[in-house]
A = this chain, B = another copy of it.
Amino acid sequence: MKNILIIGCGLLGSSLLRRIQKKKIANKIFIYEKSKKNIRKIKRLKLPGIILKKLEDGVKKSDLIILCTPMSEYKNLILKMNNFLLPKTIITDVGSSKIESSKIIKKFLRKDVNWTQSHPIAGSEVSGPENGKQNLFENKWCVLIKEKNTKKNHVIKLSNFWKKVGSKVVIMSPDRHDKIFSITSHLPHLIAYNLVKSAQDFEKMQKYDLIKYSAGGLRDFSRIAASNEIMWRDIFFNNKKNISKAIDLFIRNLHSFKKDINEKNNQSILKKLINTKKVRTKIIKLKQDINKPDFGRN
């Protein structure tokens, strides 16, 4: 790559920035960021890259453009970029759901240019350029999305880029992507938000001061539920069909758990509580987590 343009310099954008500089992946890095607060942070942190005043200046000069904004910004950004894009330019993003953004891209992006979607499975509950890290993507999966009109040489170049960034690349369709992540990521976040909301409701109803006893489980969910609300609203809205199905499955299973508890059905509940351990064993084996007990953080 000669020049790379990063649009949106929050947690993911700034992590890419740091990594691109460290590994010398580009000659020039351009940054387009609309938040003045973030621009001040980028300057204060002395992050590498040229901060653009006009988006078009970077669009024309870049070989790779990466959108790291909330997905609800894509449409506006496409309309701003359209007149300045070149057919050889590789365009991608880091959004967490793919079917809906694929529709937006197809509808608004100039027909002679190509956008190959990416989804690096990396992040945290914090946001902003001050929280980025150059090794955020190290040994993490990055999903590349393949559709009918996807250009093979763009996939190859993009795949090489993500590998340089440290990721392991896997290619799948938008449909498969959105189904898988509705269960492994979107539902867990929704559940975490919902649990914290339920605890708040309960506290109001009972007038108990219960948050101080949150170390027994609620604490860990509250961390996940502290994630960026714009990003998660976009994900929930964009993958609503799959998330809706995931919620239904979750509620069905919860009713079954409730039945076991109310009937004190020993055999049925133990089967559930033991079976779930298999997933944990698999997660450790696949190196998605380490096999070290968690006693809370001090």
Binding site for B on A (CB under 8 A): 96, 121-126, 131, 133, 136, 139-141, 143, 176, 179-181, 183-202, 206, 208, 210-226, 229, 232-233, 236-237, 240, 243-244, 246-247, 249-251, 253-255, 257-258, 260-262, 264, 266, 269-270, 272-280, 282-283, 286, 288-290, 292-298
Select A215's contact among B140, B193, B226, B237, beta carbons within 8 Å.
B140
Residue of B nearest to A182 (CB): B202
In the bound complex, what is the Cα–Cα distance between A276 and B223 (angstroms)? Answer: 10
Judge whether A293 and B131 touch: CB under 8 Å: yes
Copies assembled: 2
Judge whether B283 and A222 touch: CB under 8 Å: yes
Judge whether B290 and A298 touch: CB under 8 Å: yes
Select A125's contact among B141, B215, B293, beta carbons within 8 Å.
B293
Judge whether A197 and B280 touch: CB under 8 Å: no
A280: chain B residues at CB < 8 Å are 196, 222-223, 225-226
Judge whether A279 and B215 touch: CB under 8 Å: no
Residue of B nearest to A237 (CB): B264
In the bound complex, what is the Cα–Cα distance between A27 and B66 (angstroms)? Answer: 67
Q: List 19 A-B contacts (CB under 8 A).
A: A121-B215, A136-B295, A141-B213, A184-B210, A187-B198, A187-B217, A191-B191, A193-B257, A193-B276, A202-B246, A223-B289, A226-B280, A229-B274, A232-B273, A236-B261, A240-B262, A247-B257, A250-B254, A290-B298
Task: Please judge, given known A-B contacts A194-B250, A249-B202, A295-B136, whether A212 and B141 are in contact too, CB under 8 Å.
Answer: yes
Judge whether A258 and B247 touch: CB under 8 Å: yes
Besides A187-B195, A193-B272, A225-B280, 17 more A-B contacts (Cβ < 8 Å) are A124-B294, A183-B198, A183-B218, A184-B214, A184-B216, A185-B218, A188-B195, A194-B253, A200-B279, A212-B286, A217-B224, A226-B276, A229-B273, A240-B262, A243-B261, A247-B254, A251-B254
A244: chain B residues at CB < 8 Å are 258, 261-262
A195: chain B residues at CB < 8 Å are 187-188, 191, 250
Judge whether B180 and A229 touch: CB under 8 Å: no
In the bound complex, what is the Cα–Cα distance between A269 and B184 (angstroms)? Answer: 21
In the bound complex, what is the Cα–Cα distance between A283 and B261 (angstroms)? Answer: 29
In the bound complex, what is the Cα–Cα distance between A214 and B257 (angstroms)? Answer: 23
A215: chain B residues at CB < 8 Å are 121-122, 140-141, 288-289
